[in-house]
Chains A and B, each alone.
Chain A
Amino acid sequence: AQTVTQSQPEMSVQEAETVTLSCTYDTSESDYYLFWYKQPPSRQMILVIRQEAYKQQNATENRFSVNFQKAAKSFSLKISDSQLGDAAMYFCAYRRGYQLIWGAGTKLIIKP
């Protein structure tokens, strides 16, 4: 069965610094999709970044980038130049058929 594990329940970072959130997953498939979603206090689930497993190049979206290690089944999210607006819960998710399998989330705190 596919599972997604986020081992850091909470992380904190100083404003303007860089932070990395960890995610590991378990799958027997070779082609799949991975996502990071952000959930601010407003509760809205917002897509941050996605990665196709067949692509060796790591995805980037402005200050957000991933370190995708397919052999290690690792999919970490790096946030550069952290801003107060980045404070939120961050969820890693694996796409299986029609279903997204979600990790338990990491709460990111930004210190001013």
Chain B
Amino acid sequence: NAGVTQTPKFRVLKTGQSMTLLCAQDMNHEYMYWYRQDPGMGLRLIHYSVGEGTTAKGEVPDGYNVSRLKKQNFLLGLESAAPSQTSVYFCASSYRLAGGRDTQYFGPGTRLTVL
């Protein structure tokens, strides 16, 4: 049981390049999330999904796009990377439980550097 996995673990981009981060979970979770973590700050939600084929914006969605074509996968795309997107990116997933009772389980993170 791998839990939540993220690919790749590290990546260096040049300004203007594009890339896709892949998140996969094998726990049959309905909900999936993408966060970014910057130094001295807690995590901030970029986008999330409450089910296959659905996505929604979080707190800091600008410059990112997401897709959830399969229940187990949640992709985060950067179409034109900027230095401000240098960060550590975390994917998380959870069951669908009413009233916010679900607990989010996190992947190991992807460290992205944009030069």
Residues of A within 8 A of B (CB): 4, 31-33, 35, 37, 42-47, 50, 52, 91, 93, 95-105
Contact = CB atoms under 8 A, between A and B. Distances in A.
Given A32-B100, A50-B103, A102 B44 contact: yes
Contacts of B92: 45
**Chain A interface helix/strand/loop/mixed:** strand
B105 interface: yes
A4 B100 CA distance: 17
B74 interface: no
Contact of B42 (A42, A50, A104): A104
Contact of B43 (A33, A44, A97, A102): A102
Given A44-B109, A45-B90, A97 B100 contact: yes
Contacts, number: 54
Interface string B82-115: 0000001010100000011101111011000000
B61 to A, nearest CB: 12
23 contacts: A32-B100, A33-B100, A37-B106, A43-B88, A44-B108, A45-B43, A45-B90, A47-B104, A52-B101, A93-B43, A95-B100, A97-B100, A98-B48, A98-B56, A99-B45, A99-B58, A100-B43, A100-B104, A101-B42, A102-B41, A104-B40, A104-B42, A105-B42
B59 interface: yes
Q: Give the contact-size bracket for chain B.
A: 20 to 34
Contact of A47 (B41, B45, B105): B105
Contacts of A93: 42-43
Interface string B46-57: 001010000010
A44 B106 contact: yes
